[in-house]
Amino acid sequence: MTPSVAEPVYFNGQFLPLAETHVSPLDRGFLYGDGVYEMIPVYSRQAFRVDEHLKRLAGTLAGIKLPNPLDLAGWKAVIEKLVAAAPWEDQSIYLQVTRGADNKRDHAFPPTTVTPTRFAFSSPLVAPSAEIRARGVAVISVPDQRWARCDLKVISLLANILARQQAVEENCAEALLIRDGYLKEGAASNIFVVKDGILLAPPKTQLMLPGITYDVVLELAERHGQPVKIGEIHETELRRADEVWMTSSTKEILAITTLDGQPVGNGKPGPVGEKMWQWYQDFKNSVMRKG
């Protein structure tokens, strides 16, 4: 079987085989989910929007009051080394930082002498197949039971996990999270809606992760003259949509064609989503060609 984690991995300043990494059970990531992560797509061995991903990582670290253990150049050097060592052209780079392991369990932060645990590795990046894209995917909607800082990309993901698992148990690809009647995002994706040719996007608030793909989609819409409206999307608007898509670094732009067992629009991927997917591919290729 093809391994899904390339070696060496990056662990606390070293590049090691996975089997040589060791995390204490007192690590606050393990005890409390006290840590942050990033997922950066790599195409043709080039990290896509790496500065934006590392900026979001820095923002999340600041948001949980954990000093960034590496500067921009430091993270880029780690990423470059992982990318070069991995066997795949397209990869996903996972970065994680936790608040480290103290010698006791205490909710409050440990002394500053405790060093954060840093871990990063590469996996193969597999975009949705042409067949899945042609069909679109089915999703469910569920109440958003997450905390009030969903803009931070933290590793404590239990509410997202439970929502996604419910989707899987109902043979669906994703769960859309509804809070107080409004669509926020998916369990691991941002969600866009199209109505009467206008692209609707939920606003960036503390109740949504600011997706890097979300930003690219809005930039491409602007560049190609696609009308956009950014604003809260009520559940009723979601259910009346002509098109609904999910976006993320791994799914790119993927049509949602069934919501809670009902067809979205005519039940097929729509023309605006198709165009956006093509613009996204063209943009990716132009970035990769630039080197």
Q: What is the token pair recorded at 267? A: 């039940």
CB of 37 to ligand PDD, least distance (A): 7
The 10 Å Cβ neighbour count of residue 282 is: 12
193 binds ligand PDD (CB under 6 A): no
188 binds ligand PDD (CB under 6 A): yes
**Cα distance between residue 232 and residue 212, in whole Å:** 19
C-beta closer to ligand PDD: residue 190 or 258 = 190
CB of 214 to ligand PDD, least distance (A): 6
Residues 127 and 252 sit within 8 Å (Cβ to Cβ):
yes
CB of 212 to ligand PDD, least distance (A): 4
In the chain, where do the E strands start and end?
9-11, 14-16, 35-43, 46-47, 91-98, 117-124, 137-143, 174-179, 182-186, 190-195, 198-201, 228-230, 233-234, 243-248, 252-259, 262-263
Is 153 a known active-site residue? Answer: yes
Q: What is the Cα 129 distance to its own chain's centre?
A: 19
CB of 146 to ligand PDD, least distance (A): 8
Annotated active-site residue in 55, 76, 104, 153: 153
**Cα distance between residue 197 and residue 133, in whole Å:** 20
250 binds ligand PDD (CB under 6 A): yes
CB of 189 to ligand PDD, least distance (A): 5
189 binds ligand PDD (CB under 6 A): yes
User: By C-alpha distance, which of 3, 25, 20 is closest to 12?
Assistant: 20
**Cα distance between residue 9 and residue 119, in whole Å:** 8
Interface of this chain with ligand PDD, residues 200 to 219, rule: CB under 6 A: 209, 211-214
C-beta closer to ligand PDD: residue 10 or 192 = 192
**Cα distance between residue 261 and residue 233, in whole Å:** 20
- Judged on CB neighbours under 10 Å (0-12, 13-18, 19+), 183 is buried
248 binds ligand PDD (CB under 6 A): yes
CB of 250 to ligand PDD, least distance (A): 5
36 binds ligand PDD (CB under 6 A): no
96 binds ligand PDD (CB under 6 A): no
Furthest-apart CA atoms within the chain: distance in Å: 59
C-beta closer to ligand PDD: residue 98 or 247 = 247
39 binds ligand PDD (CB under 6 A): yes
183 binds ligand PDD (CB under 6 A): no
272 binds ligand PDD (CB under 6 A): no
Number of residues that bind ligand PDD (CB under 6 A): 15
256 binds ligand PDD (CB under 6 A): no
**Cα distance between residue 214 and residue 220, in whole Å:** 10
C-beta closer to ligand PDD: residue 101 or 248 = 248
Contact residues for ligand PDD, defined by CB under 6 A:
39, 160, 185, 188-190, 209, 211-214, 247-250
Catalytic residues: 153
